[in-house]
């Protein structure tokens, strides 16, 4: 008996754009989603008043870039770069309905273009919980290399030109 394979579904179109003041609430909702909190190193729920202050201060900072991940015209995720001397720490999270559908790796690759071409950075680094297999896979598909595992944390690296 032959089992029919489901037709290949291409990933949706994904774009990144710089976060704007009107994105504050959506970013807050996405960051406080239960699975995002569980995957974060700080799993506490972020109160609105703290988030709002952090968000607007972040928009003014030169060493932090926040991008929203847009899928089918809606903000469905967030990608952040915290920049120090030509290197940026990457943070990314998605709305539940877009996880496992190829959006994460696409967003991370596009973030790499922004970081290396537009911001002229040399390195992107990320840290992921060891048991967060989906995030680890997304980073690997986006050309990040696992560099170290220590105490339940996996460090990943992507260099310009790779």
Per run of 10 residues, the mean pLDDT along the chain (length 162 residues) is 60 92 97 91 93 98 97 95 97 94 95 96 96 93 93 94 74
Domain 14-120 architecture? 3-Layer(aba) Sandwich (3.40)
- Picking from 131, 134, 157, the residue whose alpha carbon sits closest to that of residue 144 is 157
Q: What is the pLDDT of residue 73?
A: 92
Q: How many CA atoms lie within 13 A of 29 on its CB side?
A: 11
SS3 127: strand
Burial class (CB in 10 A: 0-12, 13-18, 19+), 82: middle
Q: What is the pLDDT of residue 39?
A: 87
Q: What is the pLDDT of residue 4?
A: 59
Q: What is the pLDDT of residue 87?
A: 97
Domain locations in the chain? 14-120
- Picking from 113, 114, 108, 106, the residue whose alpha carbon sits closest to that of residue 126 is 108
Cα distance between the two ends of the chain: 44
CA atoms of 28 and 159, how far apart (whole Å): 30
Q: What is the pLDDT of residue 12?
A: 77
Q: Which positions ≥6 away from 111 have C-beta within 8 Å?
A: 16, 67, 79, 81, 90, 92, 124, 142
Q: Which positions ≥6 away from 110 have C-beta within 8 Å?
A: 14, 15, 16
Q: What is the pLDDT of residue 135?
A: 94
- Count CB-CB contacts under 10 A for residue 56: 11
Q: What is the pLDDT of residue 1?
A: 54
Output the pTM of the full model.
Answer: 0.90
């Amino acid at each position: 008996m032959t089992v029919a394979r489901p037709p290949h579904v291409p990933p949706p179109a994904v774009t990144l754009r710089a976060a704007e003041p009107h994105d504050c609430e959506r970013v807050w909702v996405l960051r406080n989603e239960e699975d995002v909190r569980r995957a974060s190193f700080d799993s506490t729920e972020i109160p609105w008043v703290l988030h709002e202050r952090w968000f607007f201060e972040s928009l003014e900072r030169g060493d932090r870039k926040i991008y929203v991940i847009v899928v089918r015209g809606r903000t469905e995720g967030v990608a952040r770069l915290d920049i120090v001397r030509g290197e940026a720490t990457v943070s990314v999270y998605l709305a539940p309905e877009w996880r496992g559908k190829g959006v994460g790796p696409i967003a991370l690759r596009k973030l790499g273009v922004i970081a290396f071409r537009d911001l002229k950075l040399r390195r992107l680094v990320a840290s992921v919980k060891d048991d967060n297999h989906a995030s680890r896979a997304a980073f690997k598909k986006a050309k990040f290399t696992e560099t170290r595992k220590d105490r339940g944390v996996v460090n990943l690296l992507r260099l310009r030109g790779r």
